[in-house]
Amino acid sequence: MSALAVDNVSHGFGAQQVLSRVNLSVEPGSFTVLLGPNGAGKTTLISLVTGLYNARHGDIRIFGHSIRRDPLPALASLGVVFQMPTLDLDMSVEQNMTYHGSLHGLSPRETRERAGVELGRLGVGDRRSDKVRALSGGLRRRVEIARALLHQPKFLIVDEATAGLDVAGRQLLLDHVRSLCRAGLSVLWATHMLDEIDASDQLVVLHQGKVRWTGQARAIASDRTLEAAFLDLTGGAS
């Protein structure tokens, strides 16, 4: 059973059609990159998958649970890092974790233990009592990843989480999520950065709301560079 199955999904805002008959899947344990230029529809698709909007057409299932008909079990196995940071800047790291844990039904004790594990793995365990406002952008992103993993989801969606980070900060996040993926986590990683893609990743290229290509990344660039293939599929958009 797929971690994520998006079947024939269309959506728009007013008269503007933003997604047209999108089909894609994320297989268990895979690192799947959702690649598209600015405005392709990546964030809109993620908003539909996370239940923020209802798709006008089509069906979305997370580990077999329809996000429309069966949202609680669907969302219980999902962790999300949104493109726009959502930490409360005036609360401490610990308070942000506690709030998120309670939303997922974790006891304060469980939350403390889980937060210690996830923050520690990302090297921010010593900043738990600091206000988020006092952390650099890179450290805030690490806290967001740790928070998304608090309830031990089987499927993680990351929407352009490395935007604005320096090279070392981007690499640290990417390496961390890739290592979790090797341990069994299913990942959907939305980006427009070609250098975040590995040849062994599954790739979904989205452009102007349509899926233009799916397959293993090494196959799209077998006879040319990934950049040339991407520019070709997106008509030069980047």
Ligand X SMILES: Nc1ncnc2c1ncn2[C@@H]1O[C@H](COP(=O)(O)OP(=O)(O)OP(=O)(O)O)[C@@H](O)[C@H]1O
**Residues at the contact surface with ligand X, assessed by CB under 6 A:** 13, 18, 36, 38-44, 83, 192
Pick between residue 42 and residue 151 the one whose CB is nearest to ligand X.
42
Distance CA 113, CA 85 (A): 24
Q: Does residue 128 contact residue 119 with C-beta atoms inside 8 Å?
A: yes
Q: Does residue 186 contact residue 111 with C-beta atoms inside 8 Å?
A: no
Pick between residue 13 and residue 109 the one whose CB is nearest to ligand X.
13
Residue type, 58: G
Q: Does residue 121 contact residue 143 with C-beta atoms inside 8 Å?
A: no
- Distance of closest approach, residue 214 Cβ to ligand X, in angstroms: 16
- Distance of closest approach, residue 89 Cβ to ligand X, in angstroms: 22
Pick between residue 24 and residue 93 the one whose CB is nearest to ligand X.
24
In the block, residue with structure tokens 């590995």: 198
Distance CA 75, CA 67 (A): 8
- Distance of closest approach, residue 83 Cβ to ligand X, in angstroms: 6
Residue type, 92: S
Pick between residue 18 and residue 146 the one whose CB is nearest to ligand X.
18
Pick between residue 146 and residue 156 the one whose CB is nearest to ligand X.
156
- Distance of closest approach, residue 144 Cβ to ligand X, in angstroms: 16
**CB neighbours (10 Å) of residue 160?**
21
- Distance of closest approach, residue 170 Cβ to ligand X, in angstroms: 16
**Residues sharing a CB contact under 8 Å with residue 236, sequence separation 6 or more, in sequence order:** none
Distance CA 60, CA 49 (A): 7
Pick between residue 102 and residue 238 the one whose CB is nearest to ligand X.
238
Distance CA 14, CA 135 (A): 39
Pick between residue 41 and residue 101 the one whose CB is nearest to ligand X.
41
- Distance of closest approach, residue 136 Cβ to ligand X, in angstroms: 22
Tell me the Cα Rg of the chain. 18
- Distance of closest approach, residue 40 Cβ to ligand X, in angstroms: 4
Distance CA 39, CA 18 (A): 9
